[in-house]
Amino acid sequence: MTTTDLTHLRNTARRAPHRRRTAGRWFVDTGWRHVVAIAVSVFAVFPLLFVVSSALNPNGTLTGSNALFSRIGIDSFWRILSDPQNPYLRWFGNTLLVAGVTAVASTLMGALAAYAFSRMRFAGRRFGLITIVVIQMFPQLLGAVAIFLMMSAIGDVFPAFGLNTHIGLIMVYLGGSLGVNTYLMYGFFNTVPVEIDEAAKIDGAGHARIFFTIILRLVAPILAVVALLSVIASFSEYLIASVLLIDPENQTLAVGLVKLVSNPRYADWSAFSAGAIMAAIPVVALFLALQRYIVGGITAGAVK
């Protein structure tokens, strides 16, 4: 085909009338997706509006909450921050401490276990993976009594690790999160080529050096995902924290906030909503900081 023929084809294509898609055709192609996205967004955001409206309601109750933002004030925020019987700032600090230590430790422990299951071949490897999956099928509620008795016995020997201590609560969280984190990371570790390990071993690197200097950098997305999930779980966990933490000064946000609405005579839902909004700020900030890792980490970890 000569240059003249190509020029003629281009001119013909430019002169051809452009057919505009009708509204019906657009809806069939892509429009329905926008409708579904808007419906899902409204479904997700609407409950949050009720929480914000309740937090700004100075009455302290849910009366009239159906009329969103009918009354606006910051009395509930001031009330929960200044109430000496409900040390919210102390609860907030306890939660940040427990969530931070649990996230770092559980992520490191899960990564070490996942590396061993993914790269090493040893007796009981398959049985260990199956056991991890089976254990996750049982809810925490079944082990609440056993955990309480075990921590009570440990506290008699080592008071710093027993009941009513943050270290004891962190230890329980680490034991519960090891299984699910290991299995989630195991799928991601399998996507990293084994040839990288073999090349490092030829250069004289051992397992520890390969893990800390090479593998951890390659699996950063799944580390971010596991750390985020661990922080969210620590912020929202109530059952084990309410069993182990007795003194109000040592309690976490989930346990302390429930106390605000546990009184059947007067439940301060406005203060509860205000505390929940402030408690969500660190989680949302961490989510926004790690969002570029989340999609890749979750999808890649589910490949194998």
Question: What pLDDT is recorded for position 230?
Answer: 92
Question: What pLDDT is recorded for position 8?
Answer: 57
Give me the tens of pLDDT residue by residue for the chain, a chain 304 residues long.
Answer: 566 655 655 665 555 455 566 767 777 777 788 888 899 988 888 888 888 888 888 776 665 555 677 778 888 899 899 888 889 999 999 999 999 999 999 999 999 999 999 888 888 888 888 888 788 777 777 888 889 999 999 988 988 888 999 999 999 998 878 777 888 888 888 888 888 888 999 888 888 899 999 898 888 888 988 999 899 999 989 989 999 998 989 999 999 999 888 877 777 888 888 999 999 999 999 988 888 777 655 555 444 4
Superfamily grouping for domain 86-301: MetI-like (1.10.3720.10)
The length of the chain in residues reads 304
Question: What pLDDT is recorded for position 251?
Answer: 93
Asked whether 189 and 300 are in contact (CB, 8 A), the reply is no
Q: Which residue has the tokens 């049985």?
A: 127
Q: Which residue has the tokens 């201590």?
A: 165
Question: What pLDDT is recorded for position 67?
Answer: 67
One-letter identity of residue 63? T
C-alpha Rg value of the chain to the nearest Å:
27
Asked whether 177 and 110 are in contact (CB, 8 A), the reply is yes
Q: Which residue has the tokens 């969210």?
A: 232
Question: What pLDDT is recorded for position 248?
Answer: 87
Question: What pLDDT is recorded for position 64?
Answer: 52
